[in-house]
């Protein structure tokens, strides 16, 4: 059942109607006609980590709203907020000391970058005004974050406000030159990073922003082995803060508390969001290491941030519940187990002519489609391959998250598979069966025309 979008509603595609969802339960969404979908994208995307329709959260929100939902935070805090912030710090890697919440991933990464800029300023290092980041990455949708991100298709409308800071190459093992080893590839990326710093004066940089697994921009591309560790060491060498953008990779998505954890790197600042509240409340957070906060504490100075909904009690109540729920139901372990299971089952998709790569960590998995498997040539962007496969799977009752630009920022089609972390084996099987038949269908269509 499709309903036409009302004229008052802003939506991405005015030409089509969207089914109206009436409720969700576990990994499923149900539209008004009763059709059932597997939410294999967990919202847009990787948000509903704990699943839909958990009534205990509704109870907690009702209870908190009837107590107090917002505070004059310039003069008050509340125990529910303080307790939650302590729990959040404990959830972060060792050495993290301070945290505050905001409401979107964009705000969290932007606040993390502002914290890094302020850190250098209050230490008297006024030169460090630049940020370094990577091509084919996504850090949020404000003008500032679009500039720091590396998605040309999203930036082009705002080109006059872009290009303040340098971007280095993406690290994408699938697109590594075939003739070099992974180690040489990483050496080259490191050399490029250091040369970019030296060309611009390394001491003019304040922070390096990185997604440990590049999610929507590159289709769940994990970092090559040793890459994050060595980038981190290079940042240390020049006094550049390392910001891990964990908006999508945080809260168990990759089979660890944070995506960076598997590398053993302890970043200076973590920006996180999405799964932090499982989608039950707009919530995100900046978590800062003791070392970053030291100059603020020593100078009795504070971070110049401030948003209306920062550290609000409703978000704290929901966020606290989500951490306890994840731990009680061992969702991080399940993300690892089901992620391995799903990837193993997906391997048979390599038999299909247009499936070039299957990759990812935990329950953040990407499938990249190519026109030519040998040369890895992508499909022309205007063929909208991933979007069309996404439409087919949706008709068949499985929602996935299509993306474009994984090859060079413009072309390269991929789909993210990132279901709630509560998923089980047979539900994974259904996703694989549906995806396989939909790819076959589109493949037959394009190869026969």
Contacts with ligand PLP by CB under 6 A lie at 104-106, 109, 138-141, 211, 215-216, 245, 247-248, 273
Of 43 and 412, CB closest to ligand PLP = 43
Q: Provide, rounded to whole angstroms, the least separation between the CB of residue 244 and ligand PLP.
A: 10
Alpha helices (H) along 123-275? 143-148, 152-155, 182-200, 227-237
Alpha carbon distance 193, 167 (integer Å): 9
Q: Looking at beta carbons, which residue is closest to ligand PLP?
A: 105
Of 355 and 365, CB closest to ligand PLP = 365
**Which helix (DSSP H) or strand (DSSP E) does residue 55 occupy?**
helix 55-67
Of 288 and 355, CB closest to ligand PLP = 288
Query: HEC states along 298-309?
Result: HCCCCCCCCCCC
Of 406 and 427, CB closest to ligand PLP = 406
Neighbours of 10 (CB within 10 A): 6
- 402-408, long-range: CB < 8 A, 24+ apart: 403/216, 403/217, 403/219, 404/153, 405/136, 405/151, 405/152, 405/153, 405/217, 405/218, 406/136, 406/172, 406/217, 406/218, 406/219, 406/221, 406/366, 406/368, 406/378, 407/175, 407/376, 407/378, 408/136, 408/378
Q: Provide, rounded to whole angstroms, the least separation between the CB of residue 107 and ligand PLP.
A: 7
Of 245 and 357, CB closest to ligand PLP = 245
User: In this structure, are strands 205-210 and 28-31 parallel, antiparallel, or unpaired?
Assistant: unpaired
Q: Provide, rounded to whole angstroms, the least separation between the CB of residue 146 and ligand PLP.
A: 10
Q: How far is CA 361 from each of CA 50, 215, 245, rounded to the nearest angstrom?
A: 18, 10, 16
Q: Provide, rounded to whole angstroms, the least separation between the CB of residue 45 and ligand PLP.
A: 7
Q: What does the DSSP 8-state code read for residue 282?
A: -
Of 110 and 439, CB closest to ligand PLP = 110
Neighbours of 100 (CB within 10 A): 21
Q: Provide, rounded to whole angstroms, the least separation between the CB of residue 134 and ligand PLP.
A: 12
Q: Provide, rounded to whole angstroms, the least separation between the CB of residue 140 and ligand PLP.
A: 4
Q: Provide, rounded to whole angstroms, the least separation between the CB of residue 332 and ligand PLP.
A: 19
User: In this structure, are strands 167-168 and 213-214 parallel, antiparallel, or unpaired?
Assistant: unpaired
Of 107 and 368, CB closest to ligand PLP = 107
Question: Per DSSP, what are the bridge partners of residue 367?
Answer: 358, 415
Of 106 and 427, CB closest to ligand PLP = 106
Q: Provide, rounded to whole angstroms, the least separation between the CB of residue 311 and ligand PLP.
A: 17
């Amino acid at each position: 059942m499709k309903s036409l979008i009302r004229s008052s509603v802003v939506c991405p595609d005015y030409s089509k109607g969207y089914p109206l969802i009436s409720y969700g339960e576990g990994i499923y969404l149900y539209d008004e006609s009763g059709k059932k979908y597997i939410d294999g994208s967990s919202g847009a995307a990787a948000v509903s980590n704990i699943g839909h329709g958990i009534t205990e959260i509704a109870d907690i929100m009702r209870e908190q709203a009837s107590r107090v939902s917002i505070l004059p935070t310039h003069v008050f805090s509340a125990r529910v907020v303080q307790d939650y912030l302590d729990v959040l710090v404990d959830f972060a890697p060792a050495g993290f000391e301070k945290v505050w919440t905001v409401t979107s991933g964009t705000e969290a990464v932007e606040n993390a970058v502002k914290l890094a800029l302020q850190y250098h300023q209050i230490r008297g290092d006024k030169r460090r005004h630049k940020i370094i980041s990577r091509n084919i990455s996504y850090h949020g949708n404000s003008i500032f974050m679009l500039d720091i991100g590396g998605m040309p298709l999203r930036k082009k409308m705002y080109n006059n406000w872009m290009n303040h800071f340098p971007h280095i190459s993406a690290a994408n093992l699938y697109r590594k030159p075939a003739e070099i080893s992974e180690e040489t590839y990483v050496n080259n990326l490191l050399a490029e990073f250091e040369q970019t710093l030296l060309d611009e004066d390394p001491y003019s940089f304040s922070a390096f922003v990185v997604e440990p697994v590049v999610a929507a921009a590159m289709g769940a591309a994990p970092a090559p082995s040793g890459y994050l560790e060595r980038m981190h060491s290079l940042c240390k060498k020049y006094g550049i803060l390392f910001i891990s953008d964990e908006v999508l990779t945080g809260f168990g998505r990759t089979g660890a508390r944070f995506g960076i954890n598997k590398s053993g790197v302890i970043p200076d600042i973590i920006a996180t969001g999405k799964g932090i509240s499982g989608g039950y409340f707009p919530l995100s957070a900046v978590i800062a290491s003791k070392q970053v906060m030291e100059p603020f504490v020593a100078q009795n100075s504070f971070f110049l941030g401030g948003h209306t909904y920062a550290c609000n009690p409703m978000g704290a109540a929901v966020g606290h519940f989500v951490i306890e729920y994840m731990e009680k139901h061992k969702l991080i372990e399940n993300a690892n187990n089901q992620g391995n299971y799903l990837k193993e089952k997906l391997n048979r998709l390599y038999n299909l002519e247009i499936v070039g790569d299957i990759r990812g960590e935990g329950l953040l998995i990407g499938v990249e489609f190519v026109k030519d498997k040998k040369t890895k040539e992508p499909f022309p962007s205007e063929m909208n391959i991933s979007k069309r496969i996404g439409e087919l799977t949706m008709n068949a009752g499985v929602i996935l998250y299509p993306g474009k630009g994984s090859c060079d920022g413009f072309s390269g089609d991929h789909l993210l598979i990132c279901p709630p972390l509560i998923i089980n084996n047979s539900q994974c099987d259904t996703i694989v069966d549906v995806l396989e038949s939909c790819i076959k269908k589109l493949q037959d269509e394009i190869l026969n025309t």
